Amino acid sequence: MGPGSELPERIGGYAVERELGAGGMGTVYLARSRGGRPVAVKVARPELAADPHFRERFRAEVAAARKVGGFHTAPVVDADPEAPAPWLATAYVPGPTLSGLLAERGPMDEGRLRMLGAALAEALQAIHACGLVHRDLKPGNIVMAEDGPRVLDFGIARAVESTRLTSTGSAFGTPGFLAPEQAQGAEVDGAADVFALGAVLVAAAGGSAFGAGTPMALMYRSVHEPADFSAVPQGLRPVVAACLAKDPADRPTPAKLLDLFVPGLAPYTPTVVVPAEPTAPAPPRRRVLPAVLVAAAVIAVLAGGAYLLTQKDDRGGDPSAAAPGPGQSSSATGTSSTPATTPPTTTAGLPGVVTVVVTAEKRKAWLTVKASDGRTLFDDVLQKGQTRTFEDEDLLNVTLGDADAFRLVVDGEPVEETYEPGQVRRLSFH
């Protein structure tokens, strides 16, 4: 159900008041409990509800979100993963998202950046203490409530101790805030959230850690190029640089970040904007409507969830144009590589061997392939018309920087799946 559709009267025991937004996973409504409490109810799309794999992921999302408490998150108050259309209700947190606040008020100064960083570090402490990794911390998932920032969207949070769900096309974050290990399809822990926190602070300071461009270009830079934190005030650059370290082992823990952001017992300074004395009305373009403030906070999960990384190049051109081509040196690794064309092998179909043939059929695009033992078999831009063949005795993890540009043949059988231009997909083949 999208904008303009008829509103349901009730979802579970909650009376629906209005639609807040819609996205890839479904629709979010503002509703009220019988006692009058406002809640945000996320309802899955019908076609997803019919997918048993989606229901498994939805159950995992609910279980993960229920574990996290504290005053830096929006608590889950109710859910029904078994309903014809599964739904999840969270406390309704009024206030603008960080992205909306920055668009309205501009970059933060050093004092506010420090308090924002400390609040987010506390939120990550609460999340990680439950054995969870958020995996998608970004300005659109942070609500600047009156009592301080709240971290939302556990749509792709997963329990660290649980078995990984390795489904084709599974989502894993937002380009521009992805840690290198996330972008390469590796296992992640809380250090990936710390990396995202660093990228959030760069954005809050008015910059962009990895520039602009297609999802593929942003992911490539996060892996191979140093972050740009020139917009960050000088006094905060060392801690932001530490958060954005390529090696997860080099990033500080949330507890250490608290010491770095707020040494000693510094007095609390609100990170929300304090209204100024009444003056002449602001121009219409500088107003943020209340519905938009809250909708942006809640529907961030809808743009993501199980199918998050569908993003398009605003220029309408080649989605891979912004990524470095083969032969360009990487400042992160100090090496360069040129993809070579390798004819398909004839081992497809052999017992115990996984064979994937990847062809850049439409245009050049970034490709990463890892073996079951974690070895990187390929990590570069595959030029248009080039083909590479990869084999493993157990599992191949393939990340397509622009899924529409590639053609895949797995164990001799073409992969019959259509993607939009600019989509980033992680695929696992056993």
Catalytic residue among 51, 80, 136, 411: 136
pLDDT in tens, 17-67: 998 877 666 788 999 999 999 998 988 888 877 888 778 878 877 887 787
Distance of alpha carbon 203 from alpha carbon 116, whole angstroms:
12
pLDDT at 317 over 50: no
pLDDT in tens, 71-106: 777 788 899 989 998 998 988 888 888 999 999 999
- Distances in Å between the Cα of 370 and the Cα atoms of 84, 288, 347, 428, 430 are 38, 45, 18, 10, 12
pLDDT at 249 over 90: yes
Per-residue pLDDT at 227 = 95
Query: Which residues make Cβ contacts (< 8 Å) with residue 284, sequence separation at least 6?
Result: none
pLDDT band at residue 389, thresholds of 50, 70 and 90? very high
pLDDT at 342 over 80: no
DSSP 240-300: HHHHT-SSGGGSPPHHHHHHHHS-SSPPP--SSPPPPPP-SPPPGGG---HHHHHHHHHTT
Per-residue pLDDT at 312 = 35
Per-residue pLDDT at 334 = 33
pLDDT band at residue 306, thresholds of 50, 70 and 90? very low
Per-residue pLDDT at 322 = 37
The candidate with the shortest Cα–Cα distance to 152, out of 162, 170, 138, is: 138
pLDDT in tens, 275-295: 444 445 544 433 333 333 333
Distance of alpha carbon 305 from alpha carbon 301, whole angstroms:
6
User: In the chain, what percentage of residues exceed pLDDT 90?
Assistant: 33
Distance of alpha carbon 354 from alpha carbon 183, whole angstroms:
22
Distance of alpha carbon 239 from alpha carbon 233, whole angstroms:
11
Of 1.10.3080.10, 2.40.128.110, 1.10.3720.10, 1.10.510.10, which CATH number belongs to 98-272+290-307? 1.10.510.10
Per-residue pLDDT at 251 = 97
Per-residue pLDDT at 326 = 36
Mean pLDDT of 218-247: 95
Structure tokens at 115: 């308090």
pLDDT in tens, 139-195: 988 989 888 898 886 655 554 544 333 344 444 578 899 999 988 888 889 999 999
E strands within 111-159?
Answer: 132-133, 142-145, 148-151, 158-159
Instruction: Assess contact for 63 and 15: CB atoms under 8 A.
Output: no
pLDDT at 207 over 50: yes
pLDDT band at residue 245, thresholds of 50, 70 and 90? very high
Per-residue pLDDT at 182 = 87
Per-residue pLDDT at 305 = 35
Per-residue pLDDT at 400 = 84
**Which one-letter amino acid corresponds to residue 128?**
H
pLDDT at 274 over 70: no
pLDDT in tens, 108-138: 999 999 999 999 999 999 888 888 888 889 9
Query: Which residues make Cβ contacts (< 8 Å) with residue 398, sequence separation at least 6?
Result: 185, 356, 358, 367, 368, 369, 390, 408, 426, 427, 428, 429
pLDDT at 335 over 60: no
Distance of alpha carbon 152 from alpha carbon 36, whole angstroms:
22
pLDDT band at residue 269, thresholds of 50, 70 and 90? low
pLDDT at 419 over 80: no
Instruction: Assess contact for 105 and 40: CB atoms under 8 A.
Output: no
Per the model's pLDDT, the better-predicted residue between 330 and 423 turns out to be 423
User: In the chain, what percentage of residues exceed pLDDT 70?
Assistant: 72
Residue 136 annotated to the active site: yes
pLDDT band at residue 267, thresholds of 50, 70 and 90? low
**Which one-letter amino acid corresponds to residue 35?**
G
pLDDT band at residue 313, thresholds of 50, 70 and 90? very low
Quote the mean pLDDT of the chain: 76
> Which homologous superfamily does the CATH classification assign to the domain defined by 10-91?
Phosphorylase Kinase; domain 1 (3.30.200.20)
